[in-house]
């Protein structure tokens, strides 16, 4: 994980690479992503950070991070939107988010399984696939 110093350093370079100003809100939101071992949704930021974040700023920050390829969305069957950090090989124009997601039914956590391959899907004739999203639900390592 690294020292607090190193994390701050890493966050700074992520933001600078994306040509974004290094601000307190952005730094703290990225810290929360790095500390959490799973996906976060909008309401988590207000909870995790107390009253200190303005709702609007969180919405705009997450949207900016999405645009720059710093985070990605994870599909859900409810109205919440979950976000997770992209790996370092991702950038605004080049994504390597080809991994599956796992949602634990016990702890509710959603994590990215980077080691697990996305399966090939044999579609019916006439369909062209651009992207495959896989979300497996079950019981995770820690909850077993």
| Sequence-ordered list of residues with C-beta below 8 angstroms from that of 95, at least 6 positions apart, any chain | 69, 72, 86
DSSP letter string, 37-61: SS-EEHHHHHHHTTT-S-HHHHHHH
**Residue 131 site contact among DNA, a copy of itself, none (CB < 5 to 8 Å, cut-off depends on kind):** a copy of itself
Identify any residues that bridge with 82 across adjacent strands, giving them in sequence order.
41, 74
The site for DNA (CB under 7 A) is made up of 20-26, 42-43, 53-57, 59-61, 63-64, 79-81
**Residue 128 site contact among a copy of itself, DNA, none (CB < 5 to 8 Å, cut-off depends on kind):** a copy of itself
- Known binding residue 130? Answer is no
**Residue 20 site contact among DNA, a copy of itself, none (CB < 5 to 8 Å, cut-off depends on kind):** DNA
- Known binding residue 86? Answer is no
The whole-angstrom separation of Cα 57 and Cα 131 is: 30
For the beta carbon of residue 61, count every other beta carbon within 10 angstroms: 22
- Known binding residue 140? Answer is yes
Q: 108's torsion region: left (phi>0), alpha (psi -120 to 50) or beta?
A: left
The whole-angstrom separation of Cα 97 and Cα 112 is: 9
The site for a copy of itself (CB under 8 A) is made up of 73-81, 100, 102, 105, 113, 115-117, 119-141, 144
Decide whether 49 or 135 has the Cβ nearer to a copy of itself. Answer: 135
**Residue 43 site contact among a copy of itself, DNA, none (CB < 5 to 8 Å, cut-off depends on kind):** DNA
> Could you tell me the smallest distance in angstroms from the CB atom of residue 56 to DNA?
4
């Amino acid at each position: 994980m690294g020292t607090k110093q190193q994390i701050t350093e890493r966050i700074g370079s992520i933001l600078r690479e994306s040509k974004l100003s290094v601000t307190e809100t952005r730094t703290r939101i990225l810290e929360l992503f790095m500390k959490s071992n799973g996906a976060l949704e909008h309401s988590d930021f207000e909870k995790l950070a107390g009253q200190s974040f303005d709702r609007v700023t969180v919405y705009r920050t997450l949207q900016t991070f999405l645009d720059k390829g710093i985070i990605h969305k994870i599909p859900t069957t409810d109205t919440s939107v979950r976000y997770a950090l992209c790996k370092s090989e991702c950038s605004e124009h080049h994504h390597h988010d080809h991994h599956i997601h796992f949602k634990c039914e016990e702890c509710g956590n959603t994590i990215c399984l980077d080691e697990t391959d996305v399966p090939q899907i044999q579609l019916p004739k006439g369909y062209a696939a651009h992207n495959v999203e896989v979300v497996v639900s079950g019981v995770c390592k820690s909850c077993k």
